[in-house]
Structure 1
Amino acid sequence: MLNLLQRFSDAFLKDINLGVLLIDMDYRLADISDRACQMLAMEKEHIRNKSLDEIFATVPSQHQLVQRTILNGAIVRNHAVSWTNNQERFDLLLDSNVLKDSQGNIVGAYIIFKDVTNMRSLEQMVQRSDRLAMIGQIAAGTAHEIRNPLTSIKGFLQMLRRTFGDRGMDKEQNFTDVMLGEIDRINALVNEFLMLSKPKHVAYERIGVTEVLRGIVPVIQNEAILYNVQLHYEASTHLPEVTADIELLKQVFLNVCKNGIEAMPDGGILTISERVDTTERNVCVDIHDTGTGIPMFVVDKIFDPFFTTKDTGTGLGLSVCQRIIHDMGGTIRVASKGFGTTFTITIPYM
């Protein structure tokens, strides 16, 4: 019977799709499930039988998954926490309790956590999608009413500018340049509003992500030079084809790369890498910058419409990107630990 229970325990820790930590009375890690190792980005052989203080030494105490109070009998149920390893960010639901012997003495503790990132992302995506659809409907209905007077104003301003130039009125000509620039900015904002509604004339076809990225690398390189940023592009061989709109996919990659470059005003490295997730059958593109990172309280808001940390931003760029990728059946996820940010764009392949 004991041998059977031991086999079950070993199989449970190996096969269960949950993070499981077993802790002894010395606050050491007695065992850990394979899924927990994946989420924590740690190797079982390197951490088993080590003190949890040592394992999580680089993590601030308030963000650690485990507290010493667990051995005093502290029970946790459905506690929501966020965890970011060097590659991904996870939303977790955590349970913990103590283990007792037949006399009722505490002999250790366990922690079980489940990855609910996709569930939470889906919930947030539905909420954002509803808001974007409403904004898009309003925008589609008012765009022409805004653009028509703007076109008239722009035309007369261009005539005034030409007249001022002919008469040598440089100061007045500069004023018209400023006004024309602001009109162009309003037009650009209207275009972004229109993108919030489902894009018209979408042409889905089977394409190679590598070919799309290679086509826009020169554009990204030129932008990077302006900010003293080095661009590293790590292409993958034999990526499966995905079904997507090539122009919209270019827009997403350019937008995310531009954000990454602008996050490094003092220079840095922007790395674009490709990979295949054969388990989930996704083509993944990781875009990593070496900037200061995104604060945890901001990460959950960056895809919200109109949320921006830029002085001149509209807060619509990432919202539009998420909408585009979502319509292709994919996802955009972000991970940031204070020393850089990684955006992961995943698109399913057949």
Structure 2
Amino acid sequence: MEKFRITMPSTQTFIRSLDAVPAAIMDADGTIVECNRAFSHLFGGRCGVGGSIFMLVPEESCLEAICERCENSMDEDGTIEIKLRAGQGKQVATRCWFGRAESGARHLYALLLSGLAPGELSLLQQFSGTFVRDVNLGVLVVDQEFRLVDISDMACHILGIDRQSSLGFPMEEVFRSVPKEHRLVQRTLLDGVLVRSHAVSWTNDRQRYELLMDSNLIRDPLGQVVGAYVIFKDVTNLRSLEQQVQRSDRLAMIGQIAAGTAHEIRNPLTSIKGFLQVLNRTFHQSGMEREEGYTDLMLAEIDRINELVNEFLLLSKPKNVTFDKIDISSVLRDILPIINNQAVLHNVTIQYQSVYQIPKIIADRELLKQVFINLCKNGIEAMTQGGTLTIIEKIDARARKVHVEVQDSGAGIPAYLIDKIFDPFFTTKDSGTGLGLSVCQRIIHDIGGSIRVSSKGFGTTFTVIVPFSPS
């Protein structure tokens, strides 16, 4: 009888070592405690971790009976023939190896299938296994006890779940690190609380995803609920594109208003400023300090209005733009003295990592300077207690693009604000206009590039991406 017994360090290690052969480990009651992907896919998830092996071998009375039969009637290759339930009332004969197993103090049973061809299973079962394995969707299947039965590779990637260590566990355990109200799958799903085309955001340790989710119940032929499934699609790029289009539409509208009204605003402001300067000089000569202070304040506010009008004008398409092949490294070196002066005032250190012979891009040199000055200035001002501002050049040869990252070590941008920072007039500064980043994005978009932002609770990185110049 010992030749039918195997010893394993752990059920997971044993199962993973046989990933190409359908294999399962059962306890004495026939409950599957571990199975590999080949086994799960072979039966389309119909019999997995937490299920009973007797769903597949209805003619057997107990696992010991199978072991006894192995001892008495096995072939030379060590296998026996058993009949498996393949669905739709059919049974198919297959070869298998069955024996006792030990893992520490646990007494288990191991089943390895060797003679069952995929064509002997129903088309629906084959499709189910292939769908979960290969589909470019997030798929989760739970049983009536809210345990994870199967999960697709894409769902594992997006949700940050290890498949082998999660199958068969309650969903509360799978999502134990996520607050209950933010878990993607809720137990109310089994009560019939379903969703259709439900938009949801999910953030793992690496990045944020925008998902479109559907769910439904799984019922047996008698109409009883035996489980449920959740399917979701990653629509992050579509949502990002939609937001860019909406933001561009708003910028275009503001630009049209600015182009039509800026000069009408500037003309009276010029006259008011001129007369105020005369009054200011007169008050100064007459020793009227209080009145001189009033005019100083009014002149400062007029200058602020003029700066706002200038930013408005940049939102409309600049009329005197000169596109040329430029070296982005030389642009960054030109603005470093300006940035260094600002950094010294805020106790910030500047680090610049350049790339030798970086490919040239097509852009307006002065507008590009404005973009990087703005991004660096924002980064410096975000570090209220001092810190380091790092400017890094990179080359994406495959996509033929140049990347420039501006990283600060400040407090970061809260997740609920990060989608709004490029919106016109949105600002977290007491004296800001909320147009700086909108203008930067407009400038970069006009040369075929993009600006991305990422923040993980501390520090923020703005990445400017611009295509190479054709050689």
TM-score exceeds 0.5: yes
User: 1:122: which partner in 2?
Assistant: 241
1:309 & 1:48 partners in 2: Cα distance? 45
2:398 & 2:138 partners in 1: Cα distance? 18
Aligned to 2:260, the other structure's residue is in SS state: helix
Q: Please say if 1:203 is aligned against 2:319.
A: no
Aligned to 1:298, the other structure's residue is in SS state: coil
Aligned to 2:402, the other structure's residue is in SS state: strand
- 2:216 and 2:229 in contact (8 A); partners too: yes
1:217, CA displacement in angstroms?
3.0
1:253-302, Cα deviation, whole Å (9 max, x unpaired): 22222223323323344333333445544333333333333333323322
User: 1:49: which partner in 2?
Assistant: 165
The structure that has the greater radius of gyration is 2
User: 1:185: which partner in 2?
Assistant: 304
Tell me which amino acid in the other structure corresponds to 1:2.
Answer: P
> Equivalences for 1:1-350 in 2 at 5 Å?
1-2=117-118, 18-19=137-138, 33=153, 37=157, 48-50=164-166, 59-67=178-186, 75-85=194-204, 88-96=207-215, 112-237=231-356, 239-278=358-397, 280-349=399-468
Question: CA separation of 1:337/1:157 partners in 2, compared to 1, >3 Å: closer, same or farther?
Answer: same
Aligned residues: 345
Unaligned runs of 5+ residues in structure 1 are none
1:150-199, Cα deviation, whole Å (9 max, x unpaired): 11222222233333333444333333222221111011011011111111
- 2:393 and 2:402 in contact (8 A); partners too: yes
1:124-175, Cα deviation, whole Å (9 max, x unpaired): 2222222222222222222222111211222222233333333444333333
Higher relative contact order (CA 8 A, sep 6+): 1
- 2:325 and 2:360 in contact (8 A); partners too: yes
What fraction of aligned residue pairs are identical, expressed as a percent? 59
Question: CA separation of 1:65/1:172 partners in 2, compared to 1, >3 Å: closer, same or farther?
Answer: same
1:228, CA displacement in angstroms?
2.8
1:61, CA displacement in angstroms?
3.9
Comparing 20-29 with 59-68, greater Cα deviation is found at 20-29
Question: CA separation of 1:240/1:182 partners in 2, compared to 1, >3 Å: closer, same or farther?
Answer: same
Unaligned runs of 5+ residues in structure 2 are 1-116
Comparing 281-290 with 245-254, greater Cα deviation is found at 281-290
Root-mean-square deviation (Å):
3.8
State the TM-score, normalized to the length of structure 1: 0.78
1:56 & 1:340 partners in 2: Cα distance? 27
2:140 & 2:270 partners in 1: Cα distance? 64
- 1:13 and 1:34 in contact (8 A); partners too: no
- 2:137 and 2:152 in contact (8 A); partners too: no
1:7-50, Cα deviation, whole Å (9 max, x unpaired): 99789857x6555667788856966536963x56x6x8x77525
State the TM-score, normalized to the length of structure 2: 0.61
1:141 & 1:327 partners in 2: Cα distance? 21
1:92 & 1:150 partners in 2: Cα distance? 50
- 1:95 and 1:113 in contact (8 A); partners too: yes
1:277 & 1:102 partners in 2: Cα distance? 55
